[in-house]
């Protein structure tokens, strides 16, 4: 069953056909993926449900929308239509934010997650730095509902609104600002994978002609939120390894502006310290 499904998915251009086929079958059967080989037989109803999911995945519906969940660092998140599905590479940015928060001494660190989407970064920070005071904001109503689901009971202060004017009550008091903003140029529409282009909210994907409109807003917002020597980190496209940090360097108010690569060696996120 897995081999046949993988062949179907491969023919449809799905990037990881065997992986997705195994995850979908394990999801239908309610067993860990590693236990599939222990399954003696699959009931007809389960086989039909599996075939239906494979068909939808072949139409490039995101795998996470079909299972309703995705893993991010050490937490599981509910995801689906209306919210950006967090990517593994964003775990590196979250890790940086967690390390930065843990480096604050003598008081609970104050962390703000802008453009929180599903709440992935905020949830991870709350999970790994339980003494932190974590705040998060999301402008899109549908995505905000997913964030509410994922952040309920975590103590995170979740708000709905535009990051441009969010958290005025925290100005000058924040230790760490972290953000995975939209960063795809509008002209790159055709090059975006169908899973993202056709299913992720466009508010979470596209950001002006050069992809840096949201990054410029972030620079200004981080500048007013952070206390002196506070730090900001933001993800960007792999082709923006020089352009995105330049947004911060050009203003003259940031020190230690650096870019960081992901595990594949591609430029992935920038960090900077408020002067």
DSSP string spanning 46-69?
Answer: HHHHHHHHHHHHHTT--HHHHHSE
- The residue assigned the tokens 């996120």 is 269
Pairwise CA distance, residues 113 & 135, whole Å: 6
99 annotated among ligand-binding-site residues: no
- Phi, then psi, of 255 in degrees rounded to 5: -115, 165
180 annotated among ligand-binding-site residues: yes
Pairwise CA distance, residues 99 & 116, whole Å: 18
Pairwise CA distance, residues 242 & 43, whole Å: 54
Measuring CA to CA, which residue among 45, 68, 227 is closest to residue 146?
68
- Residue 204 CB neighbours (<10 A): 24
Pairwise CA distance, residues 111 & 107, whole Å: 12
- Residues recorded for the chain: 275
Measuring CA to CA, which residue among 227, 140, 145, 149 is closest to residue 181?
140
150 annotated among ligand-binding-site residues: no
What six digits make up the tokens of 191?
A: 């090059």
183 annotated among ligand-binding-site residues: yes
- Residue 152 CB neighbours (<10 A): 11
Q: Which residues are part of a known binding site?
A: 138, 180-183
Q: Which residues are part of a known binding site for S-adenosyl-L-methionine?
A: 138, 180
Q: Which residues are part of a known binding site for substrate?
A: 180-183
């Amino acid at each position: 069953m897995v081999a046949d499904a993988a062949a179907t998915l491969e023919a449809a251009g799905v990037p990881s056909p065997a992986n997705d086929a195994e995850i979908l079958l394990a999801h239908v059967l309610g067993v860990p993926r590693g236990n599939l080989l222990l399954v003696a037989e699959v009931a007809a109803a389960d086989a039909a449900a599996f075939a239906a999911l494979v068909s939808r995945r072949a139409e490039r519906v995101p795998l996470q929308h079909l299972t309703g969940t995705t893993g991010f660092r050490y937490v599981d998140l509910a995801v689906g239509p209306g919210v950006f599905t967090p990517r593994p590479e964003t775990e590196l940015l979250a890790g940086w934010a967690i390390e930065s928060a843990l480096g604050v001494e003598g008081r609970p660190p104050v962390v703000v997650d802008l453009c929180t989407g599903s709440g992935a970064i905020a949830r991870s920070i709350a999970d790994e730095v339980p003494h932190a005071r974590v705040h998060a904001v999301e402008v899109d109503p549908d995505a905000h509902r997913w964030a509410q689901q994922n952040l309920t009971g975590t103590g995170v202060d979740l708000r709905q609104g535009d990051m441009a004017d969010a958290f005025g009550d925290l100005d000058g008091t924040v230790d760490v600002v972290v953000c995975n903003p939209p960063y795809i140029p509008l002209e790159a529409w055709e090059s975006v994978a169908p899973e993202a282009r056709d299913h992720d909210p466009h508010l979470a994907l596209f950001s002006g002609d050069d992809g840096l409109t949201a990054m410029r807003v972030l620079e200004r917002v981080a500048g007013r939120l952070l206390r002196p020597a506070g730090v900001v980190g933001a993800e960007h496209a792999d082709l923006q390894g020089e352009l995105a940090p330049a947004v911060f360097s050009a203003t003259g108010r940031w020190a230690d502006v650096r870019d960081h690569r992901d595990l594949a060696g591609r430029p992935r996120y920038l960090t900077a310290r408020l002067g």
